[in-house]
Amino acid sequence: MSSVFRKWSVPTIAIVVLLLIIAWMAGSFQSRIEPGLQTLEPMAGAEPFAAIRMDVPVTEPVPANIGARQATTISSRTLARITNMTVRAGDTVSRGQLLLELERSDLESQLEQAKEQVRAVEARLTEASQGLERAEQLHQQNLIAEALLDEARARHGTLTAELATAQQAVKESEIGISFTEIRSPIDGRVVERFAEPGDTASPGDKLLSLYNPLSLRIEAAVREGLALPLTLGQELEVEIPSLHSTLPAQIEELVPAADPGSRSFMVKARIEFDDRLLPGMYARLLVPAGRESLVLVPADRVTEYGQLDMVWVQSNGHTDRRFIRAGREVLPGMLEVVSGLEEGELVVLPQ
């Protein structure tokens, strides 16, 4: 009998212990919170705020980009091999600074030939001048015919013209040599270089691109309904999402023709220098779009839970939480309520 009891007692005890563990993990031995929402009391000293409705000026964010009013692309005016480049992308340059050099041996040889031609013509012209002087003296003494004097004058004139042509060739060769040294036309910064030493530069090929950081501005294509009321000198605001900042801008150019495809006008606005800004960065130009009646609450009464916005609303002596859809900050410290809250409802701070 005892052996039978031992045979069944061990499994039974194991099963009971397992059931007790399951019951403990399920919370059977702990106090439970009754279902429902807990009523919160307002924070001591915090007065309820009645949601207000106001007519406020509204703006429409227009996609824009940062550009440079003063930007240039450096190219060669002669066909030659690049021998040296003194700058790289990101370098700061000043007006007149040497950027790159081209091979000049061929041009120097042409210059020497042109100078030799000038010397040769000058020698012949000296001789012709002396001959003309003698011919004039002899003609005055009636020792030579008029035809010989005319011939001396013609030879002198021809050599004078040849000398001018040779001197012009020298100037052209000197100008061609000056093209082998390419200097910066502006104070600015190198954006990109498109060639390396050893490459052959052809006329018109891009070699470097520069821009002036002090000339950055906002360029936006604004739909005609918003663009037509804008005026030169008008103050606007610009959002730079990547920098989480808002900057003032002043309209400096309104293109007086719309894009037929998008029915929009190009608006260009000047901004103050900021070393964090670079050409091509994304921006949003906040263009006035009239006035709108909005429900507003203080920003400190709105709590964010992930992507949800929540406020605590006081009604009939109780405080209940309510999810709303909050918009942008239209006034300092005041948020727009798109939906979920009506004008006059009391919003409080929770405990």
**Residues, the chain:** 351
Residue 189 in this model has a pLDDT that exceeds 90: yes
- Residue 132 and residue 153 in contact, taking contact as beta carbons nearer than 8 Å: yes
| CA proximity to 126, closest of 136, 114, 118 | 118
In the chain, the percentage of residues whose pLDDT exceeds 70 is: 91
Write the pLDDT tens digit of every residue in 199-253. Answer: 999 998 899 999 999 999 999 999 999 999 999 999 999 999 999 999 999 999 9
DSSP run (H or E) holding 185: none
Which neighbouring-strand residues pair with 101?
84, 181
Candidates 3.30.70, 2.30.30, 1.10.287, 1.20.144; CATH matching 104-179: 1.10.287
- CA angle, 39 as apex, 33 and 40 as ends, to 5°? 115
Write the pLDDT tens digit of every residue in 15-40. Answer: 777 777 777 776 666 656 555 544 44
pLDDT value for 44? 46
323/302 Cα distance (integer angstroms): 10
DSSP 24: H
Higher pLDDT, 259 or 6: 259
Write the pLDDT tens digit of every residue in 64-121. Answer: 999 999 999 999 888 889 999 999 998 999 999 999 999 988 888 888 888 888 888 8
Which neighbouring-strand residues pair with 53?
295
pLDDT value for 218? 95
pLDDT value for 1? 47
Angstrom CA distances, 343 to 292, 308, 315, 346, 351, stand at 15, 21, 13, 9, 24
CATH architecture, domain 49-58+293-348: Beta Barrel (2.40)
Please report where in the chains the tokens 């929770």 appear, as a residue: 350
| 3-state secondary structure labels for all residues of 278-301 | CCCCEEEEEEEEEEEEEEEEEHHH
Q: What fold, for 60-70+210-289?
A: Elongation Factor Tu (Ef-tu); domain 3 (2.40.30)
Q: What is the rounded average pLDDT of the residues 263-289?
A: 93
Write the pLDDT tens digit of every residue in 137-150. Answer: 887 887 778 888 78
pLDDT value for 63? 95
93 Cα distance to chain centroid: 19
pLDDT value for 175? 86
139/131 Cα distance (integer angstroms): 12
pLDDT value for 121? 86
Higher pLDDT, 177 or 36: 177
Q: Go through 149-162 and write b for each residue having 16 or more CB atoms within 10 A of its CB, e for each that does not.
A: beebeebbeebeeb
Higher pLDDT, 283 or 332: 283
- CA angle, 36 as apex, 30 and 40 as ends, to 5°? 100
pTM beyond 0.85, yes or no: no
